[in-house]
A = this chain, B = another copy of it.
Amino acid sequence: MPDSAVAVYSGGMDSTVMLRSMLESGVTVKGALSIDYGQKHRKEIEAAREICEELGVKHQVADLRGIASLFGHSGLTDSETKVPEGHYEEVSMKQTVVPNRNMILISVATAWAITEEAEAVAYAAHSGDHAIYPDCREAFASALDQAIQLCDWSSVWLYRPFVNLSKREIVVEGSRLGAPLSKTWSCYKGEALHCGKCGTCIERREAFHLAEIEDPTSYASDAPSLDSLIQCDWRYSE
């Protein structure tokens, strides 16, 4: 664990539990960085700001909207592309991938870490992400760690504590630490409440269910019931 770090911080469950865990362990968190890449679910940035205020962590938003047009069509940024619903399956969820998103986020966070003289960049990718997001794999994180250790005279490294944990285990850890899970935002649609049926909402609901911890999230009134999700093996489509 580093002595000091800046965190790549989405305002979602994984990075919130990571932030809480670092604070618990006495890491000096020099800041949490959210990226505005024109995502539809801008509520995650608001959630990030509120949680940082609660945790006493400096919060910064890096505005990357100027490069969003290069990313091509992604369900997360393109107003004409619909966010896919249903479980995180390869076919539908690939539409939500912003190419090379994690390297962009981590490279910007590394620039910030150098400026803030932090020892590490903390990044909360977890094992459940691997099957669909190549840039959440440990092999990728390990190669990127090597690169960021060489990018400057002052060495910065990539702290990735959850890379071998499941979402269920992250929920268990977050609950144990008293992390503000109810304030975190996951839903890709970014409406008033979590929709309860997009890939990330279903993953969230599944994680609480498997962890046997009550889900504190308010879902939209037309969200499918937990029972119906379980019965259809967590795959839901309208």
Whether a CB of chain B sits under 8 angstroms from the CB of A135 is yes
Q: Mark A109-133, 1 if CB is under 8 A from B, else 0.
A: 0111011000000000000000000
Q: Once the chains bind, are A147 and B150 in contact (CB under 8 Å)?
A: no
**Interface size on A (CB < 8 Å)?**
42
Give the distance to chain B from A153, nearest Cβ to Cβ, in Å.
6
Question: For the complex, what is the distance from the CA of A36 to the CA of B103, rounded to whole Å?
Answer: 19
Report A37-86 residues with CB < 8 Å from chain B CB: 60, 62-67, 70-72
Task: Provide the residues of chain B in CB contact with A108, threshold 8 Å.
Answer: 67, 70, 100, 104
Q: Once the chains bind, are B151 and A135 in contact (CB under 8 Å)?
A: yes
Task: Provide the residues of chain B in CB contact with A146, threshold 8 Å.
Answer: 143, 146-147
Whether a CB of chain B sits under 8 angstroms from the CB of A179 is no
Q: Once the chains bind, are B115 and A71 in contact (CB under 8 Å)?
A: yes
Q: Once the chains bind, are A139 and B144 in contact (CB under 8 Å)?
A: no
Whether a CB of chain B sits under 8 angstroms from the CB of A98 is yes
Among B36, B66, B99, the residue within 8 A (CB) of A111 is: B99
Q: Once the chains bind, are A134 and B114 in contact (CB under 8 Å)?
A: no
Whether a CB of chain B sits under 8 angstroms from the CB of A3 is no
Smallest Cβ-Cβ distance to A35: which chain B residue = B67
Task: Provide the residues of chain B in CB contact with A98, threshold 8 Å.
Answer: 111
Task: Provide the residues of chain B in CB contact with A115, threshold 8 Å.
Answer: 70-72, 99
Question: For the complex, what is the distance from the CA of A36 to the CA of B66, rounded to whole Å?
Answer: 10
Among B64, B134, B140, the residue within 8 A (CB) of A66 is: B64
5 new A-B contacts, CB < 8 A, other than A99-B114, A107-B107, A146-B147, are A100-B110, A103-B103, A104-B104, A135-B152, A140-B147
Instruction: Give 22 pairs: A residue, B residue, CB < 8 Å, sorted on A.
Output: A62-B70, A67-B111, A70-B111, A70-B115, A71-B111, A72-B114, A99-B110, A99-B111, A99-B115, A99-B152, A100-B110, A100-B111, A100-B151, A102-B151, A103-B151, A104-B104, A104-B111, A107-B107, A134-B153, A140-B151, A143-B150, A144-B147
